[in-house]
A and B are shown apart, each in its own frame.
Chain A
Amino acid sequence: MATSHIIVVGAGVTGLSAAWWLAKSGVAVTVIDKGVVGWEASSRNGGGASHYHSPLFAEEQRLWPLLDDMLGYPTEYRRGRVIVALTPAQLAHYHYMAAMFTAQGFRADHIDSAQAIELAPLVNPASLGGIRLHFGGHANPQRTVQAYAWATQDLGGRILQHTPALRLVAHGDRVTGVETARGPIEADAVVVAAGPQTAGLLASVGITLPLSHARAEMIVTEPAPLMPMGGVDGNGLYGRQTLRGNLAYGGGPHEWLDVAADGPATRPTSPLSRNLARRVAELLPAAASLRVLRSWAGVVETTPDGRPVIDTVHGNVTVAVMSGVGFGLSPATGHAVRDLVLDGHCSFADLGKLRLDRFAGLADDWRAARGWTAAA
C-alpha cells in the first residue's frame, strides 16, 4: 500500500509503539493526543508484561529484552515473575495456570515456600509456595511511554500534544484525515489507539466499537531492599518492585464509569487503598511497616469479552484497543499495527480472533446486561 502520511490518534503506549514501528519503516507519522504522552492508563498501570494468553505474546517476549537498545532509552524491563499462594485455593489456581502456560510452551515451575523466599525475601514465610514464571516480566510505564515517544521523534515522527482529535473525516469509504481542536490534519491512513475515546472517534465514521470503561487503582510504598525477583504476584494482587525498591501493587474491584467523548474527567482513588494495603501486608509481611506514599487510578477501556480489538476496520482505519493488557504487549502491538497498516496483514501472528466483527450480533444493552454500568 502506498502511504505517505499516517496519523496515530493517541499518544499512549500502544499508539506510540505503532508510531515508532511505522517511523522505523520510513513512513511519515504524526501522533496526536489530547494531553501529554502517556497521561492516561499507559502510565497508570502495574507495568506487567506477562500476557501469556495473547497471540502477540511470543513477539512481545522476543522484543522486551531488546527494547532499551532498539529505542535508545531506558524502560526498566526485568524478566520473570513469581506468583505466591497464601491459601490452598490460590495454590490450586496457580498450578492450573502453570499447566496452561506450559501447554503453550512457556516454562513455569512449581516452587515451595523456601524457593519463593529465596527469589523474593519479603514473601510471607507461611506461604504455600506457588509458581515461578521463566517468562513475562515488568517495566516502568512512564519511562517506557516516553522511550517510545522520544524514539519516534528521533526517527522523524511528530508528536502533537494538547491536540484533541474531534472526529475522523471520511470521503466515501476512505478516511482522509482527522479533525482536531487545532484544525484538520490530512492523512492517507489513520491508526486509532485512543483508549476510552476510541469508540467515539470510530462512531464519527459510522463504526460501532463496543467499549465499557472502568477505573482501577494501585498503591505504592517507600523503597524496600531490592529482591532478586521484582515481579511478585499473588494473594489477589499484581505488582512489582521498582528498581528503586518501591512496591507498587494493584488488584481488586474496579468502578464502572460513564466516560465523556473527550475522555475521563477525573481519576480519583478510593478507600480501596486500604484493601490493597492489607493484601500487600499479608503477601509481604516483612514489608508491613513500609509506608504507603501514593495511590493512583487509571481508566481502562474494556471490550465485551475483555480481549483486544486489533483490526483494520474501515479501509484505511486501523484500530488498537487493548482492554487492559496494552502496556505489556505494546512492543508487539506496535509491530502488528505497523504490519496491518503497511502490509494489510500481521506478519508474525494470527489476529483473526481479535477482529471487530466478532461483536456484530451484540445486543445494544450489552453493558447493562453485564452490570458494566456506572453506579447511581
Chain B
Amino acid sequence: MIRDVHALDGKFAPPERHVEVLVIGAGPAGTEAAIVAALGGAEVMLIDENPVAPDLMRADVPLYFGGRMTGAVDRPDRMIETLLAANPALAEAFDAGIEVLLGTTAWGLYVPQPGLAALPGSVVGLADAERSWLVGFDRCIVAAGARDLALGFPGWEHPGVMGAQGFHALVEHYGAFDGRRMLIVGSGELAVATARLAEKHGIDVAAMIEVRDGQSIARVEGGLHGVERVVLRTPAGERVIECDTVCLAVGAVPAIELLAAAGARLTVDPARGGHVPVCAADGATSLPGVFAVGDCAGVAGPPDTLDHRAEWSAALTADPATIVCLCEEVTRADLTGVQPPAYLGVRSTAMAARSLCSLLADGPPDQDQIKRLTRAGMGLCQGRRCREQVALILAAEAGLAAAEAPFTGYRAPVRPLPLAVLADWAETAEMSAGWDVWFGIPDQWIPYADIGTDREAAHRAALGGNMHL
C-alpha cells in the first residue's frame, strides 16, 4: 500500500510510558478509584496537578483563586508537604504501590476514533514544570473534580474576588489563604459549606447573599490590596459591607474539559451542574477505555440549578458596562453588540449597527462564533472565568432557557502550557523527515504562468512540494 510521507500516520513515537490504569486527579474519587484498581492487581499511575504553579494560580487556572494566595504557594516543597498532610489517602495510595505524580497536569486526552487514526494508541498528554510527555493506558479514569462557576459584576477585577473551589483549595489543601473577612455569594449547599469552612479557619463571614431574596452586588470597591468593600443591592436599598474577599459560591461546574476536548459525548443535566459526560453506570464514557468518576461526572444540585445561575447572572450584569471576560476586557454591551475589541479601532457605521439581534436573525446563538468576534473567552484563563456567564447572557438575549444555552467546545491543551514545555524535543525521525509546511503536493505551488512549461519541472525539483508560506 502506498503511503503519503507527509501524512500523520506513523509519525508519533509510542508513548513514553504505558500503564494499565491511569487516574487523573487525586481528590477523594480519584484516589479511591486508584486504590481499588491497585488492590485488584492493576498497575496504576495516579497524577494530580497540585501543587499548581504559582503563575497559573495567578491566572486563575485551574480554579478561581482570585489572587488571594499567600507567598507560601511560591515554595513547592512546603506545598507538597501541606498537600500530603491534607490528603491522608495519598499515603494509602503509596502503600498500595501506586505511582503517584504530583505537580503533574493532564493537558490532553487522545483516543483513536474516526478522523483521528494516526495516534499511537490511547494516550494522555502530561506535563510538569519542565516538560510534557505522553502516557498510554488500557483504562483512564478521569477524576478531574469541579471548577468554579465564575460570574462577573462591576468591580470583580479586584483581587479578592474568587470562587468557592479556589477558596477550598487554598484553605484546606494549601494552607495559603490570604483573607480575613468575606462576603459569600449564594445561599445553597456550596455557600453553606463555604461558610462552615471559613468559620473552621477563623475567617469572618460578613454576609451571605441570595438573588432570590432580592439581593445582589451593585459593585465592589477596592484599593491597593484588592477588595475593600461591597455595595449590595437589597430590597431595603443599598448596603455597604466591609470585607477583603468576595467568594462566589453559587455553584460548581464539572471539570469536563479533558473529556470534552477528547470528543466524549456530553449532555446537559441541570441537576448535575450543567454539561456532563454521558456515562454508563460504571462511569464508562463514550470513549473506549475512558471513565469519569466524582464531580467531573456531575455535581449534584437542585433541578433548577441552571435557572438559578441565570438569575444571578442577570442581576450581577444589569449594567451593560460590566466586564464579562476579564482576560480580554469584554463588557456585556460588547458581547451583546457583537462588537470587535477596542484595540482594532474600528469606526464603521455598518459595524456599529450590528448586534447579537442581527446575528440571531440568521440562527440560534453560537458561542464559538461570537467568542471569535468579540474575543470573550479567548484569553489566558481559557474561558474559565467567563464561559458559563457568556453562555447564559447569550441564552437570555436569544430568549432561550438556561439549559439550552450555547456551548463552546474545549480544546487541548486544557491547561495553558509554555511552548517550551509543550514542545516535543525528541520527535521521531519520521516526523522530522515528513514535515512540510503544507501538504507536500508536488504541483501545488508552481507559479500559474509556469504550469505546462519547461520551468515546471525545475520548480518541482526545487520546491519538492514545499511552499513555506
Question: A residues bordering B, Cβ < 8 Å?
Answer: 36-39, 43, 48, 50-55, 68, 71-74, 76, 81, 83, 90, 93-94, 96-97, 100, 103-104, 136, 142-143, 146, 149-151, 154, 159, 161-162, 214-216, 221-222, 233-234, 236-238, 243-244, 251-258, 264-275, 277-278, 280-281, 287-296, 300, 302, 305-307, 323-324, 353, 368-372, 374-376
B437 located at the interface, meaning its Cβ lies under 8 Å from any Cβ of chain A in the complex: yes
Which of B5, B8, B9 has the most A CB atoms < 10 Å from its CB?
A: B8
Binds A, one of B87-95, B216-224, B411-419: B411-419
B407 located at the interface, meaning its Cβ lies under 8 Å from any Cβ of chain A in the complex: no
Q: Which residue of A lies closest to B345 (CB)?
A: A74
B283 located at the interface, meaning its Cβ lies under 8 Å from any Cβ of chain A in the complex: no
Which A residues touch B443, using CB under 8 A? 305-307
Give how many A-B residue pairs fall within 8 Å (CB-CB): 273
Contact assessment for A275 and B431 in the assembled complex, using a CB-CB cutoff below 8 Å? yes
Q: Which residue of B lies closest to A133 (CB)?
A: B469
Partner of A255, one of B1, B110, B118, B348: B118
C-alpha gap A239/B403 in the complex (Å): 38
Question: B residues bordering A, Cβ < 8 Å?
Answer: 1-9, 11-12, 108, 110, 113-119, 123, 125, 132, 134, 262-263, 328, 340-341, 343-344, 346, 348-351, 354, 358, 362-364, 366, 369, 372-373, 375, 378-380, 382, 411-413, 416-420, 422-425, 427, 431, 434-439, 441, 443-449, 451-452, 459, 462-463, 466-469
Contact assessment for A159 and B382 in the assembled complex, using a CB-CB cutoff below 8 Å? no
Contact assessment for B119 and A271 in the assembled complex, using a CB-CB cutoff below 8 Å? yes
Known contacts A268-B115, A271-B108; A254/B373 CB under 8 A: no
Which A residues touch B11, using CB under 8 A? 253, 272
Contact assessment for B8 and A222 in the assembled complex, using a CB-CB cutoff below 8 Å? no
C-alpha gap A272/B382 in the complex (Å): 20
C-alpha gap A117/B364 in the complex (Å): 46
Interface of B is mostly: loop
Contact assessment for A74 and B412 in the assembled complex, using a CB-CB cutoff below 8 Å? no
Partner of B439, one of A159, A293, A306: A306
Known contacts A273-B422, A281-B419, A294-B411; A324/B9 CB under 8 A: no
Contact assessment for A265 and B423 in the assembled complex, using a CB-CB cutoff below 8 Å? no
Partner of B119, one of A76, A270, A280: A270
C-alpha gap A222/B55 in the complex (Å): 14
Q: Which residue of A lies closest to B120 (CB)?
A: A271
Q: Which residue of A lies closest to B431 (CB)?
A: A275
Q: Which residue of A lies closest to B338 (CB)?
A: A146
C-alpha gap A306/B469 in the complex (Å): 15
- Could you list 30 examples of A-B contacts with CB < 8 Å? A36-B363, A37-B369, A48-B469, A53-B444, A73-B354, A143-B372, A236-B435, A236-B437, A243-B343, A244-B343, A244-B378, A253-B434, A254-B6, A254-B439, A266-B115, A268-B116, A287-B419, A291-B416, A292-B413, A292-B416, A292-B422, A295-B412, A295-B413, A306-B443, A323-B444, A324-B438, A353-B451, A370-B4, A371-B2, A371-B4
C-alpha gap A224/B11 in the complex (Å): 31
Which B residues touch A294, using CB under 8 A? 382, 411, 413
Known contacts A257-B115, A290-B418; A277/B423 CB under 8 A: yes
Partner of B7, one of A143, A255, A271: A255
C-alpha gap A52/B434 in the complex (Å): 24
Q: Which residue of B lies closest to A217 (CB)?
A: B8
The 7 closest A-B CB pairs, nearest first, are A306-B444, A72-B350, A306-B441, A291-B416, A278-B423, A274-B424, A371-B4
Contact assessment for B413 and A271 in the assembled complex, using a CB-CB cutoff below 8 Å? no
Q: What's the least CB distance linking A200 to chain B, in Å?
A: 17
Contact assessment for B373 and A253 in the assembled complex, using a CB-CB cutoff below 8 Å? no
